[in-house]
Structure formats: C-alpha cells, structure tokens
Structure 1
C-alpha cells in the first residue's frame, strides 16, 4: 500500500517529508521497471549524480527535474508525490497536499490533485508574491496548461510570447516550450492551473 504523505505546517518538515516520499517512490518505480541509474539519467536527461542524490533523499529536486524523471518512468508528478487518483473516487485531505515550489518572498506552488501518468492531468494552486517569478523548461510534446487568475495579474511568457492575464480572466497555453509565470502586479498573485499531458 502506498504511504500517504502527511504534510506538517512546519516548512522544513514539509520539505523533508516530500523529499522522502519522492525518494522512495522513484527508487521503487525504477527497480520495478528494472531500469539502472545510468539508464534513468539518460532517459530523463539529468545527471546520474542528481538521480542518486534524489533517491538517497539528499536533494530537493525542482519541479522541472521531477517532471523529467517522472516522465522517464512513465509516471506523473502526482504519482511521485502521491496525490494521483487510483480508486474511482479519492479524497485528498488538506494536510496531504504537497508544496513543490517555494519562492524567495514566500510564494508557493501546491499540487492539489492529479491523475496517473503517462497521460495525466494535474491541478495546481499558485501564489506568487510581488517580485517573484517561476521559470520552467519545455514539457513533453502535447502538454497544455489552463490558467484562471483569482487575484492579481499573471504575466505568462511562453517561448518569448508575453500574455497578460488579469484577475478574473483565464487562458490556455501550449507549454512544450520554455515558459515563465511572473507576478505582473504589485500585490499577491493567486491562480489555479491545470496541466494536461496527452500522448497519442
């Protein structure tokens, strides 16, 4: 049975718990698929040292690195952090929802729920403080993101195309190219995002 990550309100304990869950899940998946560390590193296009550090719980991987390694194993990020749905209906308690990004001014990105990979859908809640931004590398081909801004202004930059999404507005973007989420205003930016990665 998969262990449920119980997130503490202490940010340091939270990071440690997520790191431990990620390390365990990735190592289990790699061994089940009989993939060597070298082969996983090659498939994910990350260094073997990084894979080893993640599996030994000595690294706190970025969302981009998690995406690459998860995809190389045929998993979603939600599978790895244990918020993917497996039964027909599953409740994810508030304390189980992991924070996978912390901005320098206190912003957060939380993976609220997701389906199992490789075809997957994820639901995220972002809060980006004034002056913060998040930069992402390309996602796999066929990835789309849907946005709805609840508060503030989101400046979305996708492959050098800039889109301003004001409070109450929504947008869709193909994100198989480098992209950024930037707080385009002076106050807090809060938005929800759905990521859909569909393989033919």
Structure 2
C-alpha cells in the first residue's frame, strides 16, 4: 500500500486541479457533491483523511473515477499498479477492507475493487449517480447485498450485477471471511 501521506497529497493536488479545470468554486463543488465547503478546503490542503463516501461524492460531482482523484502517478501510457500500491479506502472494524485496485475514464469512471469483509462486518454505500452499474464476483464466503432495503445472498463463485443509484450495502452475515471483486461503472457526466 502506498504511504497514507502520499495518497492524501495526491488527493489534495488532484481535487484542486480537477475542480479548477472544471471551473468550480469551492462553494459550487460543495453544492454539487453534498460535501461541506470546509471539508473540501481541508482535503485540498491535505489536512484530513476523508471517508470513502466523501471521496465517492467528490469523484461523482467531478465526473471522474476515485482512482483518478487518488492517482499519484499519471506519467505512463500503460499503468501497472503493483499490489502493494493499491489504495485501501475502507477499513472494517474487525479487519475487513475495501481496496481500489485500478480505475479509468472510459467514457465515464470505471473502477475495479477488491473487498474483504470479516464475519459480521457491513459497509454501507451512498447512492451513486443514476445509471451507475456494479458487478460483484464473490471469490470466498457469502455476500449479503442489500439494495433498496431488500437482502440478496450471493454465494462464493457467483456474480451479481445491479444498478447502484440507490443506497446499498455489503454485509457478511456468515461465519467465514467474504472476499469479492467489484467493478463500478459510472456514466459520464450529463448522461
């Protein structure tokens, strides 16, 4: 994993650059994202480590992937991300994790994640922009996906696809660890 300070600095630099490129004031980005102006300022000054939800809302408001917001090396045509440089964005209370493996803009943000949920852990996700689709491949254990208040059990070896424009959560209600690979496809802005 990259040093947390490296990720914080990259987020600060990229957020400010992307906000400026799109002509958004601090107030405008705060309004578009639902993230307070004060929090945007703290992030741009690298004074805070925001939650996954905050980073998702900012990326969605800017029309970019989370990976682009966190990218600390945009110099190569072929981007190879070693396992130890993937960005951990969620830590569960019992040792679970959500790790952003990679992401691109094609034509909207496309992200590849690996998630590890320990028994009893839950991660709640805010709604993504309308038209966002997720594909979850359960590698180990069983995932309980809650979408629109309805629970769906997805066993190991299965793949589920769903629209993620509403609140949803990932739960491990089993006795063994749950590991999954997740693809998130966000439509380009204005679509």
TM over 0.5: yes
Query: Which runs of structure 2 are paired with 1:1-200 in the superposition (5 Å)?
Result: 7-8=1-2, 14-82=3-71, 89-116=78-105, 119-199=108-188, 200=191
What CA distance in whole angstroms lies between the structure 2 residues aligned with 1:30 and 1:58? 18
Asked whether the equivalents of residues 63 and 109 of structure 2 are also in contact (C-alpha less than 8 Å), the reply is no
The alignment partner of 1:60 has SS state of: coil
Structure 1 stretches of 4+ with a deviation exceeding 3 A read 83-89
Q: 1:155: how far off? A: 0.3
Structure 2 stretches lacking a partner, 5+ long? none
In the alignment, what sits opposite 1:3? none
Using the size of structure 1 for normalisation, the TM-score is 0.87
What CA distance in whole angstroms lies between the structure 1 residues aligned with 2:17 and 2:28? 15
Q: 1:71: how far off? A: 2.0
The alignment partner of 1:134 has SS state of: strand
Q: Would the alpha carbon gap of residues 22 and 85 (structure 1) be closer, same or farther in structure 2, given more than 3 Å must change?
A: closer
The alignment partner of 1:17 has SS state of: helix
Asked whether the equivalents of residues 147 and 193 of structure 1 are also in contact (C-alpha less than 8 Å), the reply is yes
Q: 1:16: how far off? A: 2.8
Q: 1:41: how far off? A: 0.4
Q: Would the alpha carbon gap of residues 139 and 86 (structure 1) be closer, same or farther in structure 2, given more than 3 Å must change?
A: farther
Q: 1:95: how far off? A: 2.6
